[in-house]
Amino acid sequence: MMIFKNAKQKYLLIPIFLFFPMLAAQHFGMLLNVTPSMPLGIYARSNGVIQRGSIVTFCLPDFYKTLALNKLYIQKGRRCDGAEPLIKEVIAVPGDHVFLTNDAIAVNGKRYAYPTLTKDSRGERLAALSTAIEN
């Protein structure tokens, strides 16, 4: 009985060790990323010019946000009118030549492998959404 109680107490500490760093990170202008979209870690916010290689956070437009929340692709949150922001690395900036194919994104001739997915992580078919690229 005592072993179970101790193990149970240890498991209760896990949320505490996860929750407080997240609060501290947000309070000090940092972002704790635990999603697979970028490497796990704490990212510090900074002011400056967005350039190729910058890490940025952004909110999805309402239509895509609602779709992503309904499919559980993103988490609910307080920062983007009910959703957590996305975090991504910038690979193209205004003036770059961007070309999309089914298996890659090319920016100024540099190819980034990025296959078009037809199913999500649960095996559900992904709907094709029209996109427009403006330069």
What CA–CA distances, in Å, run from 4 to 1, 8, 60, 111?
Answer: 5, 6, 45, 54
pLDDT in tens, 47-84: 788 899 888 888 999 988 998 898 888 888 877 888 88
Domain ranges of the chain: 2-92, 93-135
C-alpha to C-alpha distance for 91 and 88, rounded to whole angstroms: 9
Can you give the pTM of this predicted structure? 0.65
**pLDDT score of 94 more than 50:** yes
Residues 6+ apart with CB under 8 A from 114: 103, 104, 105
User: Alpha carbon 60 to chain centroid distance?
Assistant: 11
pLDDT in tens, 102-123: 788 899 999 988 877 888 888 8
